[in-house]
Amino acid sequence: MATKAQAIDTQPLTIPLTGYSRASQLLPFLPFGKTTLFKWSGDGRFPSPVKLSSTITCWKNEDVHAWIKRQGISQQAANDSQVKGA
């Protein structure tokens, strides 16, 4: 039986280099919240999402990594700021 600590520790420490990620998977590594993610995706300040279905929106991990690099944000620093704010 999995303990509560094991169940909580399922979040990856980084964004995968390839593939797609949903908002909930990206937000721990971004210096803003869900509303800003969708707003910036819509106005071009963040990569555009891909609709996989009518209910599933995701982002290409390669595009997100490129955006993070352009911003000068390390994934660890973004992750640390989320943990401290919690």
User: Helix (H, G, I), strand (E, B), or coil: what is residue 20?
Assistant: strand
CB 59 within 8 A of CB 20: yes
pLDDT, tens only, 24-40: 999 999 999 999 999 99
For the chain, the C-alpha Rg in angstroms (whole number) is: 14
The burial class, CB within 10 Å (0-12 / 13-18 / 19+), for 79 is: middle
Tell me the pTM: 0.72
pLDDT, tens only, 31-70: 999 999 999 999 999 999 999 999 999 999 999 999 999 9
